[in-house]
Amino acid sequence: MNNMPKLSRKITEPSILVRPVSRFGGLDNIHIALIALVVILILLLLAVSYTTKISVNVTCQNCTAAANATNYTAGAQHTPAQVKLQAEKILAGYATLNSSLSILPYIADVNEASVSYLKNSGEWYVSIPYTGPLTENTYLFSLEINDSNMTKFSALAQVTAQPKISKNYVVSPGVIKLYGQTACTPAGSPLLVYWFMDPYAPGAVQSLVNETNLQKKFGGNINVSIKILTTQYSESVAKVYGMNNTLQLGKYILCASGKPGFGNFVKELNATYQGNYVPPYVLQELAGQAGLNVSSVESCVSSSQGAINGQFIEAEHYNITSSSSVLTNCEFLSLPETAYNAICYSDSSIC
């Protein structure tokens, strides 16, 4: 039993050194110095915050309320509200440009406009955020407007083209108020909505989905009328297939609209339409598949040219030249994608 290995050295118990608690609660000099440094920094920060003057640039998010403020911008000839309205007119002017910038008034959010007065230069700086339709990134549409002569302005940042100042102005995201036009919907009646479109314009047929969705949402509170335009897109198709054949698509859409099966017709048309010419016999088949009364639709199609001519005159009256454009209550212009905003701006009680 004495076979256990022997340890080569003697094992001793560890000794524990216990120091008496000092008057600093056991903290050594390093910890005490760190605590003192933190206290000094806090006191210094408080002293700086009470003695430092902070310069704030005068800005205005809601310029309507600020318009009546006294001494808002000392020395300025115009109020922030007046400047914001001028910026909205400049923004509306882009809608008339024959370029991709024409969409700018419909994607800018004027409710988030910021207006600042630059006293040293005697100019106003206005920035309006807008969302890119493809990237969905947010950018700034920026303007410098001369205070003494607000017809003098310059666009900054990503947008460099400068249009003529419009008498129209942007009143809400995606909504333009047409100058000189007034409401045409009688009190207590459904809100009139005119849907101007050239069926062969890019996105026009697809926009009819927006139209049917709005009809479902608002029901009897709105009355949507399709208005057929003939722009460069239909004219391009007509060069190959003839104008009479080209107009058939618009006539079928016009005659199917307002009927109970129009939503089904829109679905069938969108499933078939590829951006190319649609022959009359295909349109006839689509009307049948949608459950429409084909003979009634064709009777309407054969006599609809007069109505389309009248719609062209309506478009000229409102200076509508592009497809697709939506006119709400005869005074608010929008895109199909922003028609909801126009409806709610025109009559908030139904939203």
SS3 236: helix
User: What pLDDT sits at residue 163?
Assistant: 76
User: What pLDDT sits at residue 31?
Assistant: 47
CB 134 within 8 A of CB 72: no
Percent of the chain scored above 90 by pLDDT?
Answer: 63
At 19, the pLDDT band (50, 70, 90 cuts) reads very low
Among 18, 20, 117, smallest CA distance to 63 is for 117
User: What pLDDT sits at residue 219?
Assistant: 92
Strand partners of residue 194: 225, 327
Q: Tell me, what amino acid is at 195?
A: W
- Does the pLDDT of residue 68 top 90, yes or no? no
At 187, the pLDDT band (50, 70, 90 cuts) reads confident
The whole-angstrom separation of Cα 106 and Cα 84 is 16
Q: What is the mean pLDDT of residues 196-206?
A: 95
- Does the pLDDT of residue 101 top 60, yes or no? yes
User: What pLDDT sits at residue 243?
Assistant: 94
In degrees, rounded to 5, the angle at the alpha carbon of residue 207 between the alpha carbons of residues 204 and 211 is: 130
- Does the pLDDT of residue 29 top 70, yes or no? no
User: What pLDDT sits at residue 75?
Assistant: 79
Each residue's pLDDT tens digit, 300-330: 999 999 999 999 999 999 999 888 899 999 9
- Does the pLDDT of residue 44 top 90, yes or no? no
User: What pLDDT sits at residue 161?
Assistant: 62
Which of 160 and 235 is assigned the larger pLDDT?
235
Q: Tokens representing 319?
A: 């200076």
- Does the pLDDT of residue 72 top 90, yes or no? no
- Does the pLDDT of residue 5 top 60, yes or no? no
Q: What is the mean pLDDT of residues 167-179?
A: 95
DSSP 8-state secondary structure symbol assigned to residue 173: T
Length in residues, the chain: 351
- Does the pLDDT of residue 22 top 70, yes or no? no
Q: What is the mean pLDDT of residues 194-216?
A: 95
User: What pLDDT sits at residue 195?
Assistant: 97
At 25, the pLDDT band (50, 70, 90 cuts) reads very low
User: What pLDDT sits at residue 157?
Assistant: 53
Q: How far is CA 38 from CA 29, 45, 302, 346, in A?
A: 15, 11, 88, 60
- Does the pLDDT of residue 36 top 60, yes or no? no
Where does the chain show beta strands of DSSP type E? 114-118, 123-131, 138-146, 153-157, 169-172, 175-177, 191-197, 222-228, 325-328, 332-334
The whole-angstrom separation of Cα 30 and Cα 36 is 10
Each residue's pLDDT tens digit, 257-313: 988 899 999 999 999 999 999 999 999 999 999 999 999 999 999 999 999 999 999
User: What pLDDT sits at residue 102?
Assistant: 86
Ranked by mean pLDDT, the top range of 55-69, 145-159, 166-180 is 166-180
Q: Mean pLDDT over all residues of the chain?
A: 81
User: What pLDDT sits at residue 131?
Assistant: 87
Helices (H) and strands (E) in the chain, counts: 12, 10
At 136, the pLDDT band (50, 70, 90 cuts) reads confident
Which of 322 and 204 is assigned the larger pLDDT?
204
